[in-house]
Amino acid sequence: MAAFARARTSELAEPVARLWPDLAARDLRAPEIGLVMLRGRIGGDGAAFNLGEATVTRAVVEIKGGYRGYGQRLGREPATARLAAVADALWQNEQERARVEAEIVTPVTRRLAAESLQAKSEAAATKVDFFTLVRGESEP
Amino acid sequence: MSLAVSAPLAGSFLEPVFDSQRAFRAAMDALAHPGVVQPAGHGLPDTPLPAAAAALVLALCDYETPLFLGPSIETLPGTAAYLRFHSDAMLVTDPAMAAFAVIDLVRDGLDLAVFAQGTPEYPDRSTTVIALSPGLTDGPPLTFSGPGIAATATLQVAGLPAGFAQQWRANRAAFPLGVDIIFATSDAIIGLPRSARLSKDER
Amino acid sequence: MYVAVKGGERAIANAHRMLADKRRGDRAVDEIGVDQIREQLALAVDRVMSEGSLYDRDLAALAIKQARGDLIEAIFLVRAYRTTLPRFGFSEPLETADMLISRRISATYKDLPGGQILGPTFDYTHRLLDFALAAESETMPPATSPVDPAETMTRVTDIIAGEDLIENNPQPADGQPVGDLTRDPLAFPADRDLRLQNLARGDEGFLLALGYSTQRGYGRNHPFVGEIRVGEVEVEMLIPDLGFAAPLGVIAVTECQMVNQFKGSKTEPPRFTRGYGLGFGHCERKAMSMALVDRALRAQEFGEERKGPAQDEEFVLSHSDNVQATGFVEHLKLPHYVDFQAETSMLRLMRAANARQAGLPPAEAAE
């Protein structure tokens, strides 16, 4: 589900259109834009407080076989939230799960891992290397 | 991860924005004009409970709304799941905690005293009871007066329990506290706000 | 007193048309895109998100464009927009300990696990205008260094807490609802959850001035920056139908942990106290100010004498919101013709009375 929430639209739309062209998904909850109150913790690890809201789009679909999929993503992209729900519904079907994993989950997870590594590498380049000023002893 | 195959789920409003606004409007008119039948239940071709009642729940409740279901509604197949899914409402088992309640007059009876009555600071924190009725025009007549009623209004809701008149007098006596009732069938509602006063000669 | 006045519709329509024209400016200059604002004025976007109390970069960028760069107006637009949307629920509390960090510094420890990560900072710049930016220039991609996968970035306050040298944060009480000032009006005294929500949406300039005032002696609380961390955190929300918290994506936040004046008692050993700041995007000045004011507002809890404005919760919380503040200040622009007329008549009567007492002819005194 994390992969479906963070996939780019194309990372969902392309494999769904290519591999499941005849998929008829019924909207149980048509894509809907709303808010989620984001909570922080007092002092970082204490009781919750309300920090502020974020826009969220959610959708629920049902596909053949009665598999129900939930899509919910930050932002305001109704079509993408519905695609996330479709991908989740497909994943519920054990016959389809391997293909969903291979064609959607793995590529998205891999991209996110690469982006995360890039962000860490950029941060690491700004890490301070302290060196102690000479204190009168000879340096090794 | 999530639940695999689930029981079939009926659909929500065909046009969520317009249909929920119509339902809201109907509820507002019903409470503003006690005793006047208001058409309701648009956009819900396929619901497990009468559409006008379902429309009120879907339009008025959200994830912060405690909702109580009468025993006959709770056990009506697919109903609790349907209302929870489409409205996000929190189902509660204690009627005194409920902002809204759906009950069936005939199967569940009606005891107004069990619901939230509001507090002197917040009289609005009482339960609005959505009461399913077999008919809104063919019950024994009861005559009311009060705000929103020009002279008198005659209510002919079918399925009211014996002793309803006493219950309503007690409800009215607690004003501004007390519950409001919206009687519902599949295609219409009628409102009875706590401000409505039963005529003296009704029993 | 307000009186309904009709007319002025044409003037208003034309004023709005003129506003649109001024917003667009010289047509010979390219129109700015919302995507350009989002990418290149990112800190303005972050401020509008924090104080608009709505995380949506595109909406904040659009609001900035529409408001011609007036950030308080943009915040107002975002606040107005949010009222049009239904709320689906609330997230699980964000776990800042698991942040994907782009900046992380501490003023309390030089050598700390994970190190001092400067990230994209204005610190150590010389604040000299860079005229190269006035011309179009190629910007180099950021440098990279190998990442040690074993290295963790424990929060500094967790390190201090490990030695029991800092107070513990309040833990959630069973059944205690989290206060929400968008649902229930603020009442005093306000609990810390409500205070933090209020400060998180509060005006950066107001909080900065209050934070500064505590440093200058109006409610001193001896702060150290335990840690500032900036980066991305995951957002999860419980989906009741599923029975588990589903991930929704990631947001950028800034967290500031101030380590303050220690307190102890006969039964408790002395420990440092805390002030906490958290905001959307990269907003460290705001998060630091918030942490200073959070700590100042805890004066009563620690039995400190309340002598500075920053320690007065009613003063701080009632005046921190710039949308409320601008609404009340700017309403003075609305017609007050009748009030003013009443006061003018009163003034004339008083002057006429004074003149009569002084034996002057009435016409002179009352015009």
Express each pLDDT in C302-345 by its tens digit. 999 999 999 999 999 999 999 999 999 999 998 888 899 999 99
First to last CA, chain A: 54
Residue B139 Cα distances to B198, C32, C159, C200, C226, angstroms: 16, 67, 73, 57, 73
Q: How many helices (H) and strands (E) does chain C have?
A: 13, 6
CB atoms within 10 A of CB B108: 19
**Six-digit token pair at B203?**
């029993």
Contacts for B21-26: CB closer than 8 Å, 24+ residues apart: B21/B59, B22/B55, B23/B55, B23/B56, B23/B58, B23/B59, B23/B60, B24/B59, B24/B60, B26/B52, B26/B55, B26/B56, B26/B189
- d(C-alpha A89, C-alpha A24), whole Å: 11
Task: Return the residue of C nearest to A73 by Cα.
Answer: C248
Nearest chain A Cα distance for residue B107, angstroms: 30
Q: How far is A36 from chain C (nearest CA, A)?
A: 5
Question: Which two structure tokens, joined as six digits, stand for C306?
Answer: 């309340």
**A92 at the B interface (CB within 8 A)?**
yes
Nearby residues of C172 by Cβ (< 8 Å), 6 or more positions away: A46, A47, A48
Which chains are within 8 Å of B by 3+ CB pairs?
A, C
C-alpha span between B140 and B137 (Å, rounded): 9
Instruction: Give me the tens of pLDDT residue by residue for chain C, a chain 367 residues long.
Output: 556 667 789 999 999 999 999 999 999 999 999 999 999 999 999 999 999 999 999 999 999 999 999 999 999 999 999 999 999 999 999 999 999 999 999 999 988 889 999 999 999 999 999 988 888 778 999 999 999 888 889 999 999 999 999 999 999 887 789 999 999 888 999 999 999 999 999 999 999 999 999 999 999 889 999 999 999 999 999 998 888 999 999 999 999 999 998 888 888 899 999 999 999 999 999 999 999 999 999 999 999 999 999 999 999 999 999 999 999 999 999 888 889 999 999 999 999 999 999 887 765 544 4
Alpha helices in chain B (DSSP H): 16-32, 51-60, 71-74, 79-87, 105-108, 164-173
Q: Rounded to a whole number, what is the distance in Å from the CA of B44 to chain A's nearest CA? A: 13
User: To which residue do tokens 């799941």 refer?
Assistant: B81
Question: Which chains form contacts with chain A, at 3 or more CB pairs under 8 Å?
Answer: B, C
Confidence class for position A137, pLDDT limits 50, 70, 90 = low
Q: Are strands B142-145 and B90-92 parallel, antiparallel or unpaired?
A: unpaired
- At C151 the pLDDT is 83
Which of B2, B63, B84 lies closest to C88 in CB terms?
Answer: B63
Report the phi/psi class of residue C335: left, alpha or beta, with left for phi > 0 and alpha for psi in -120 to 50: beta
pTM comes to 0.91
Give the pLDDT confidence score for residue C251 in this predicted structure.
98
- The reply to whether residue B4 touches residue A28, judged by beta carbons under 8 angstroms, is no
Q: What is the pLDDT of residue B201?
A: 66
- Decide: C96 and C233 in contact? Cβ < 8 Å: yes
The closest CB to that of C86, out of B2, B62, B84, belongs to B62
What ipTM is given for this predicted complex?
Answer: 0.93
Q: Of A27, A28, A70, which to mutate for an interface test with B (greatest number of B Cβ within 10 Å)? A: A28
What's the CA gap between C222 and C204, in Å, rounded? 21
Q: If you search the block for the tokens 């007492």, which residue do you land on?
A: C357
List C-alpha distances in Å: C30 to B143, C33, C42: 71, 9, 20
Q: Which of A51, A73, A121 to mutate to test the interface with C (most CBs of C within 10 A)?
A: A51
Q: Is C346 helix (H, G, I), strand (E, B) or coil?
A: helix
Interface residue ranges in chain B relative to chain C, Cβ cutoff 8 Å: 2-3, 62-64, 84-85, 88
Q: What is the pLDDT along chain B (203 residues), one digit of tens a residue?
A: 444 455 678 888 888 889 999 999 999 999 999 999 999 999 998 899 999 999 999 999 999 999 999 999 999 988 999 999 999 999 999 999 999 999 999 999 999 999 999 999 999 999 999 999 999 999 999 999 999 999 999 999 999 999 999 999 999 999 999 999 999 999 999 999 999 999 876 65
CA separation for the pair B168, B157 (Å, rounded): 14
CA-CA-CA-CA dihedral for C160, C163, C166, C168, to nearest 10: 110
Distance of CA A31 to the CA centre of its chain: 17
What pLDDT is attached to residue B1? Answer: 42
Structure tokens at A97: 């799960």
Q: What is the pLDDT of residue A108?
A: 98
Q: Which residue has the tokens 């980066």?
A: C231
- Mean of pLDDT values over A116-124: 96
d(CA B197, CA B182): 15
Cα distance between residue C324 and residue C50, in whole Å:
15
Averaged over A101-107, what is the pLDDT?
98
Residue in the structure block whose two tokens are 């942490």 = C291
Q: Is B17 on the interface with A (CB under 8 A)?
A: no
Q: What is the pLDDT of residue C366?
A: 45
Shortest Cα distance, chain A CAs vs residue B108, angstroms: 30
Using the structure block, give the residue that is written with the tokens 């972050």. Answer: C46
Q: Which residues contact C241 (CB under 8 A, 6 or more apart)?
A: A70, B3, B84, B85
d(CA C332, CA A46): 42
* Six token digits for residue C314: 């009613």
Q: d(Cα A67, Cα A43) in Å, to the nearest integer?
A: 42
Considering only the beta carbons, identify the residue of A1, A66, A70 that sits closest to B5. A66
Please report residues of B whose CB lies closer than 8 A to that of C86. Answer: 62
Model confidence at A88, in pLDDT bands (50, 70, 90)? very high
Tokens 């009606």, residue located: B110
* Contact predicate C303/C190, CB 8 Å: no
Bridge partners (DSSP) of residue C244 are C239
Question: Which other chains touch chain C, taking contact as 3+ CB pairs less than 8 Å apart?
Answer: A, B
Q: Report the gap between the CA of C239 and the closest CA in chain B (Å).
A: 10
Q: Name the residue ranges covered by the structural domains of chain A.
A: 2-103
Ordered by start, the domain boundaries in chain C are: 9-82, 96-120+152-168+180-319
Give pLDDT tens digits for A33-57.
999 999 999 999 999 999 999 999 9
CA of C255 to nearest chain B CA: how many angstroms apart?
29
Residue of A32, A66, A93 lying closest to B6 (CB–CB):
A66
B81-98 burial code (b ≥16 CB/10 A, e <16): bbbbbbbbbbebeebeeb
Instruction: Please report residues of A whose CB lies closer than 8 A to that of B16.
Output: 30, 32
**B86 touches A: beta carbon within 8 Å:** yes
Q: Give the closest-approach CA distance of C202 to chain B in angstroms.
A: 26
Q: What pLDDT, on a 0 to 100 scale, did the predictor assign at position C149?
A: 82
- pLDDT category, A133, cuts 50, 70, 90? low
Cis before B77 (ω within 30): no
> Can you tell me whether residue C267 is helix, strand or coil?
coil
Contacts with B88 from chain C: Cβ below 8 Å: 88-89, 240
CB contact under 8 A, A44 and C171: no
